[in-house]
Structure 1
Amino acid sequence: MLPNLTDPNLPARILVVEDDAGMRTLILRALQGAGFRVRGVACGDEMWEALELAPVDLIIMDVMLPGSNGVELCRSLRSGQAVTHPGESPTAQLPIIMVSARGEERDRVNGLESGADDYVPKPFGQRELLARVRAALRRGSVGTVQEPTRRERLKFAGWTLDLRRRELVDPAGVTVDISGAEHDLLTSFLDNPQRVIARDRLLELSRTRLGDVSDRSIDVLVSRLRRKLGGDAEHLIRTVRGLGYIFVAEVERV
């Protein structure tokens, strides 16, 4: 009998997408030992079936998979193709940790560009993986990992970021889906308007875990956020050559 996977009072629900049976078993055992509810699948088709069965709070996904690879699946999830269950956040906001034996910078960049919140090269230690899982869940305030609620809304250039609901609304009143990492990055900018923020400081402020803390990693995340802000991005987030970034708009707390 399947466990009750929809009770929000139970530990966080994690789906592991890994075609290597041995590796999948190791990851599942580590997560189960840490108290998480877990399911494991071997490919993209099985992932979609699992998501239709019940919602999850986080996905750990290998890059090299049979059929659609992890990068393609991540992009599909970010586009909201999966079934959205009542009361659950859309898959566009679902934390995704990508794992791969390919750890070169271009591979990490490709993973982050596809919408992943974190990229962990193999081999990795159990403690490291669990730390990254908990960090990703903290960013989304999911399951048994909670953060203090900030009952605030931040307004800038016609946009509104609701910190309590973790919801971004554009000037036309349309909700824009953003991932947990993108939300935390935007919050860091809004908490420090009209101030140049160095890349390493920006990573620290947003509590982002991107595998390799490099300038390129934060640049990719900023690029993703700019795309969500559309035509306003060039007037909101400016690059300060050799230093970092500055959020130039006025910010109002309501």
Structure 2
Amino acid sequence: MKQTIGIVEDDPNIRDIVKAYLEKEGYHVAEMESAEAAWELFQQAPPDLWVLDIMLPGMDGYEFCKQVRKDSQVPIIIISAKDEEVDRILGLELGGDDYLTKPFSPRELVARVKRQLTRWEAMNTNTATAANETLEVGELSLYMAERRAVWGGAEVEVTAKEFDMLKLLAQHPNRAFSREELLVQIWGEDYFGSDRAVDDLVKRLRKKLADFPLETVWGYGYRLRKDGIES
């Protein structure tokens, strides 16, 4: 069965180009010019991945992403003319899995779509085989099937990437990971962005988990300090 990609973009030229490239790769494409139309599709027959513009008439892409994340972790690739760091961080904080700035290469977008779908399929497979698995390290509890995180007895709302980083660090307490290692482990070997994505993710986790002992290893990367997590 063909996988369906939902394109939410009000520029018909961009929609046509993206659609042509995705269909050439064998995907089925559902195209919409507004978040309201996309929301209707989400409620009736949600696609396997969203390509989402931010600047939309009516409901913007940020709000749509936020609404989708209340019920689904399906991959969302944000495309936007906004290239400021604050816009990129906001898009990722609201649940975007990737962020691509306009103008972009359609071939690069297709590569990112393939990568996100591969990771999504692998995550679902791992979830199915570890339905009852819980990872507990000190005050941190990670519920794999539900992808829920509890820190200090309180549940913390985390994105897919934030959960993946918590899982990796909790599985290897006290081990220092370089930024490059974290990029490969969490974003995949074919990630096109810079290691700033790692720093952005760490900032978000530190903001959400008060006193979480996620330490900076200066000039290298990050580690989860075991004595801090078990105190």
Measured against the shorter chain, the TM-score band is 0.7 to 0.9
- Identify the residue that residue 201 of structure 1 maps to in structure 2: 181
Q: Helix, strand or coil: the match of 1:246?
A: strand
- Identify the residue that residue 27 of structure 1 maps to in structure 2: 18
- Identify the residue that residue 161 of structure 1 maps to in structure 2: 142
Q: Helix, strand or coil: the match of 1:19?
A: coil
Unaligned runs of 5+ in 1: 1-9, 81-89
- Identify the residue that residue 121 of structure 1 maps to in structure 2: 101
Q: Determine if contact 2:39/2:64 at 8 Å carries over to the other structure.
A: no
Q: Relative contact order, CA 8 A, sep 6+: which one is greater?
A: 1
Counterparts of 2:226 and 2:3 in 1: how far apart (Å)? 37
Counterparts of 1:25 and 1:191 in 2: how far apart (Å)? 44
> Is 1:38 matched up with 2:38?
no
Q: Determine if contact 1:139/1:184 at 8 Å carries over to the other structure.
A: no
- Identify the residue that residue 15 of structure 1 maps to in structure 2: 6
> Is 1:212 matched up with 2:193?
yes
Unaligned runs of 5+ in 2: none
> Is 1:68 matched up with 2:49?
no
Alignment partner of 2:166 out of 173, 182, 186: 186
> Is 1:59 matched up with 2:50?
yes
Matched to 2:8, the amino acid is: V
Change (3 A) 1:142 1:132: same
Q: Helix, strand or coil: the match of 2:90?
A: helix
- Using the size of structure 2 for normalisation, the TM-score is 0.79
Matched to 1:239, the amino acid is: T
The CA RMSD measured in Å over matched residues stands at: 3.1
- Identify the residue that residue 223 of structure 1 maps to in structure 2: 203
Deviations along 1:66-90, whole A, 9 cap, x unmatched? 1222223223333x1xxxxxxxxx3
- Identify the residue that residue 216 of structure 2 maps to in structure 1: 239
- Higher percent of residues as helix: 2
Change (3 A) 1:140 1:107: same
Change (3 A) 1:200 1:158: same
- Identify the residue that residue 3 of structure 1 maps to in structure 2: none
Counterparts of 2:40 and 2:17 in 1: how far apart (Å)? 22
**How many Å apart are 1:171 and its aligned residue?**
6.6
Alignment partner of 1:100 out of 77, 80, 83: 80
Matched to 1:101, the amino acid is: A
Identity %, equivalent residues: 34
